[in-house]
Structure 1
Amino acid sequence: MSVPVSPGNSRYIWAFPRNFDIWVDKVLPRWMAHMATNIILDSDLYLLHVEERKIKEMGPKNWQKACFLPIKSDALVVGFRNWFSKYGDGKIDWKGKYTDDLPPTPPREQLMDRYWTHVVNCSSCNGAYKALNATETIIKVVSVGLIGIVAATTQGMLSAAARTKLAVLATVCYVTSRWLAHFIYNNFRYHDYSHSSPEKVMLLVRIWKAGLS
């Protein structure tokens, strides 16, 4: 459920109760489930942002001109929009607190930001974010330390094989720290989403065909 809190901003309330595969919740930490959920939200967020402005441009009474709703599953959306137009004049009554003007479109990184919109308020994701950042820092320090050992030791202090092993281990630690840093940023800070990739276009086509059947 999405609850409007100000023009252009909503609070998303999501729950998925179930009585199957409950054991998964006991094994996997909650932040892993949130990563999967955020991917779904990212796939919709930018489109909804653009669509909101198209409806604003067309006018709330002409929302059909800004939307294409051809499948059976769209009936709920059509029903809501008709109800909203009939009883709310297609607009939210902000009781004088806000005008109906939408704020300017922010940069994509700000619009699809994950940290301030979710991570900082989620105990599980925030804990994972801090723990993974600490782990990334430790691995990076180990990498630098190993490189320092290799550089500081002379040929007589360590064998060539030992120096090679330390150099390889330092490289592995460095690569791991870089991968972990990318993972943290991609899942807890900002994850871009391309709606035009062939795989995602084909997925949308399959969903559309399924809705027509």
Structure 2
Amino acid sequence: MEINIQKLDKNGFLAKQELGYAKFVPPCVFYVYPSLGLNRGNGSVGMEEQPTNLTKRRLVLIFICIPVSPGKSRLIWTFPRNFGVWIDRVIPRWIFHIGQNLILDSDLYLLHLEERKINDLGPSNWHKACFVPTKSDALVSAFRKWLRKYSGGQVNWGTKFSGALPPTPPKEQLMDRYWSHVVNCSSCSMAVKGLKAVEVALQCQGGCHTSSTRISISMITTMASNETSIIRDFLQRKKKSSEVVSKSKRLIVRLRSALGAQWAQDTPVSLSFHRRERKVFAAL
């Protein structure tokens, strides 16, 4: 993206870019005016009709970055516009804040490290700490030029701070969003309270489902135990029956061998057969 600095003086600078322009107003306000074209306010217009009510869409990105102490700044931003305002009445602000904070977080750690590199090299050697060769880096170069020319290259803290940067905090603390934003934002803090209430409700509902599930499992276990007992008894009886059948088969085999020819001739069995049968049963 090509960006050209049109004007730079003690009142800030003005930059022209492909889709609009940007303006820096000292000491800490930055405006971006995107070019969005025209919007027909009276709906669609026919080929032969002349538009009678043309409304120009306007959107302004306003960033206010306020130095609070060495290494810390407070960022305030707003995006006023004259179209699509209905979406702000439908979608809560905290949903937009999630996406916007993700953009800030993507640059936060990089800016933190660059600030320390510039501090080590000195404000006048800032260009040695970062490489900004393209035309899209013109805004960074213009701000550094303005800061060096009209503010000595750094923020004048007066007697309140020495200007030395504090030690780098843990990354979790540096990237924290809860204490730096959520607790101070009415929309995000309200969303957290609502989500916590939903979480408690879901846990209670989950507990009820767990209790009913435990009861169902207990009933199923009892029924399965009863069925298992019935099946076990049946199998035991079947096993005994099989043993009786097997024993009977062995008895018949022994009877055949004991009776010998009389069994083969299919003759009436005499009393001696019964005596032999009793002997065979006694032997089993």
The alignment's TM-score, normalised by the length of structure 1, stands at 0.70
**Structure 2, unpaired ranges of 5+:** 1-63, 225-284
Say whether 1:27 aligns with 2:90. Answer: yes
Counterpart of 2:116 in 1: which secondary structure? Answer: helix
Aligned counterpart, 2:80: 17
Number of matched residues?
160
Aligned counterpart, 2:189: 126
Shift of 1:138: 1.5
Match of 1:86 among 139, 144, 149: 149
Aligned counterpart, 1:188: none
Aligned counterpart, 1:60: 123
Structure 1 segments of 4 or more deviating over 2 A?
Answer: none
Aligned counterpart, 1:155: 219
Shift of 1:99: 1.2
CA distances 1:98-156 after superposition (whole Å, capped 9, x unpaired):
11111111111111111111110111110001100111121122212221232245428
What does residue range 1-213 of structure 1 map to in structure 2 within 5 Å?
A: 1-152=64-215, 154-155=218-219
Q: 2-side partners of 1:80 and 1:36: how far apart?
A: 27
Return the index of the structure with the highest Cα Rg. Answer: 2
Counterpart of 1:91 in 2: which secondary structure? Answer: coil
Higher relative contact order, chain-length normalized (CA < 8 Å, sep 6+) = 1
Counterpart of 2:81 in 1: which secondary structure? Answer: coil
Q: 2-side partners of 1:70 and 1:32: how far apart?
A: 36
Shift of 1:2: 1.2
Cα RMSD (Å): 2.2
The alignment's TM-score, normalised by the length of structure 2, stands at 0.53
Q: 2-side partners of 1:81 and 1:108: how far apart?
A: 27
Q: 2-side partners of 1:124 and 1:93: how far apart?
A: 34
**Structure 1, unpaired ranges of 5+:** 161-213
Shift of 1:70: 2.1
Q: Which amino acid aligns with 1:155?
A: M
Q: 2-side partners of 1:108 and 1:143: how far apart?
A: 36
Q: Which amino acid aligns with 1:33?
A: F
> 1 or 2, which has the higher strand percentage?
2
CA distances 1:60-106 after superposition (whole Å, capped 9, x unpaired):
01000011112223212111111111221112111111111111111
